[in-house]
């Protein structure tokens, strides 16, 4: 294709319109991104300046570090515990909240209320619930004769505890998005299905799920990206422990950059996280989106 004068003019015009966002993106995304790539190839002083060129040593160090490997596992487990359960639970609750009942708006508000709670507050609430000596959770369990686990002390259970907190925090958003999706399904489709004899679960799996699949897909992508960035709950509940069980990639980056002041190494981790999220998102768009039914 040849560029005509008109094309060039319209490109120029477009760029002028885009300029504000391009400048913002450059300042807050592209320049830090470039800097991150750059720093990942250097040793850095404690104050963050690059000193000696290090090549890909940080990356080699990462790949051979048991902490990094266990961090990948922790990140994967955390995402696996959080995203599918959060979406499934959100869907079930959204379907229930989609009934036409008196006072349903009250229930909708209640169920979606976690959207208004900041992660820090939510984590502190759950920290109290999990507390081994004063915690409500184990007290309630003890009333029915169950000896509650040491929530934040046993590695396997700590991941679950942080996941439960995260699911609780994201549930509000999930419900709202799915409820909006459900309300967009035309009543005629259900009527037609009913005439054909579909009921209950069959209706749910054949009509509701496909019709709400764009919302489900949206949540899958957004929740996955979100969960890979979770910091607050981990910082307030476990600080990455016990024995690194909840030391996700993001938490590792925080520890290496802002506790250990190894900006080069932390930058290399950031780059790996970037590639990981990019790959995951591409895979999701490529393979899962095929099954999404757009109206």
Partner 1 sequence: MEGTMRKFAAFALALSVVAACGGGGTGGGGGTTDESAQAPGKDVKPAAKIVWWHAMSGVNGDALNKIVDGFNKSQSNTKVEAVFQGTYDDLLAKLNTALASNAAPALVQVYDIGQRYMYDSGQVVPMQAFIDRDKFDTADFEPAVINYYKYQDKLQSMPFNASSAILYFNKDAFKEVGLDPTKPPQTFTEVADAAKKLTKKDASGQTVRFGFGPSIYGWLFEQLLATSASPYADNGNGRDNRATKVVYNNAQGKAILDWWKAGLDGGYFYNPGIDNNGAANAFDAGKSAMYIESTARLRGHINTAKFEVGTGLYPRPDAKPKDGGNIIGGASLYIMKSRPVDEQQAAWEFVKYAMTPAVQAQWQADTGYYPIRKSAYNEGPSKDWSTKYPQFLTAINEIRDSPQNRFTNGAVLGVMPQARARTQKMIESVLLGKETSQAALDSAVTEMNTQIDSYNKANKP
What lies within 8 Å, CB to CB, of 210 at 6+ separation is 293
Pull the structure tokens for residue 183.
Answer: 């309300």
CB of 166 to partner 1, least distance (A): 16
Kindly report the number of other CB atoms within 10 A of residue 36's CB atom.
Answer: 17
State which residue, 39 or 123, has the beta carbon closest to partner 1.
Answer: 39
State which residue, 115 or 225, has the beta carbon closest to partner 1.
Answer: 225
State which residue, 122 or 240, has the beta carbon closest to partner 1.
Answer: 240
CB of 229 to partner 1, least distance (A): 6
Pull the structure tokens for residue 279.
Answer: 């790959």
CB of 245 to partner 1, least distance (A): 9
DSSP assignments along 22-77, one per residue: HHHHIIIIIHHHHHHHHHTTEEE-TTS-EEEE-TTHHHHHHHH-HHHHHHHHHHHH
State which residue, 184 or 274, has the beta carbon closest to partner 1.
Answer: 274
**Pairing mode, if any, of strands 50-53 and 42-44?**
antiparallel
Pull the structure tokens for residue 245.
Answer: 């069980």
CB of 273 to partner 1, least distance (A): 6
Alpha helix (H) ranges present in the chain?
A: 5-25, 31-39, 57-64, 66-97, 104-112, 119-130, 136-143, 155-183, 187-195, 200-203, 209-211, 213-227, 232-237, 249-254, 263-283
| Binding stretches for partner 1 (CB under 8 A) | 28-29, 32-33, 35-36, 39, 43-52, 61, 67, 131-134, 147, 150, 152-155, 221, 225, 228-229, 238-239, 241-244, 250, 253, 255, 257-267, 270-271, 273-274, 277-278, 281-282, 284-285, 289
State which residue, 214 or 241, has the beta carbon closest to partner 1.
Answer: 241
State which residue, 83 or 94, has the beta carbon closest to partner 1.
Answer: 83
Q: How far apart are CA 84 and CA 89, in angstroms?
A: 8
CB of 12 to partner 1, least distance (A): 21
Q: How far apart are CA 284 and CA 35, in angstroms?
A: 28
State which residue, 36 or 114, has the beta carbon closest to partner 1.
Answer: 36
State which residue, 97 or 129, has the beta carbon closest to partner 1.
Answer: 129
Q: How far apart are CA 140 and CA 88, in angstroms?
A: 26
Q: Evaluate whether 78 touches 230 at the Cβ level (below 8 Å).
A: yes
Residue whose tokens read 């069959």: 202
CB of 9 to partner 1, least distance (A): 22
CB of 129 to partner 1, least distance (A): 13
CB of 57 to partner 1, least distance (A): 9
């Amino acid at each position: 294709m040849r560029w005509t004068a008109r094309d060039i003019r319209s490109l120029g015009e477009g760029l002028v319109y885009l300029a504000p966002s391009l400048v913002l993106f450059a300042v807050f995304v592209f320049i830090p991104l470039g800097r991150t790539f750059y720093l990942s190839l250097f040793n850095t002083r404690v104050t963050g300046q690059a000193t000696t060129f290090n090549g890909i040593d940080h990356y080699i160090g990462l790949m051979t570090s048991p902490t990094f490997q266990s961090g990948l596992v922790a990140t994967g487990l955390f995402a696996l515990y959080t995203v599918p359960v959060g979406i499934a639970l959100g869907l079930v609750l959204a379907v229930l909240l989609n009934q036409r009942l008196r006072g349903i708006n009250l229930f909708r508000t209640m169920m979606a209320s976690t959207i208004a709670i900041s992660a820090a507050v939510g984590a502190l609430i759950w920290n109290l619930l999990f507390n081994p000596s004063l915690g409500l959770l184990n007290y309630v369990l003890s009333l029915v004769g169950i000896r509650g686990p040491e929530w934040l002390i046993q590695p396997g259970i700590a991941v679950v505890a942080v996941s439960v907190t995260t699911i609780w925090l994201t549930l509000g958003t999930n419900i709202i998005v799915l409820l909006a999706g459900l309300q967009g399904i035309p009543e005629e489709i259900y009527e037609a299905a009913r005439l054909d004899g579909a009921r209950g679960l069959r209706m749910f799996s054949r009509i509701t799920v496909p019709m709400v699949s764009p919302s489900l897909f949206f949540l899958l992508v957004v929740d996955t990206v979100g969960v890979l960035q979770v910091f607050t709950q981990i910082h307030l509940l476990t600080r990455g422990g016990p024995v690194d069980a909840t030391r996700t990639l993001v938490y590792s980056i925080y520890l290496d950059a802002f506790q250990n002041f190894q900006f080069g190494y932390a930058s290399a981790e950031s780059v790996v996280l970037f590639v990981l999220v990019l790959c995951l998102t591409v895979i999701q768009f490529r393979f899962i989106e095929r099954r999404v039914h757009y109206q």
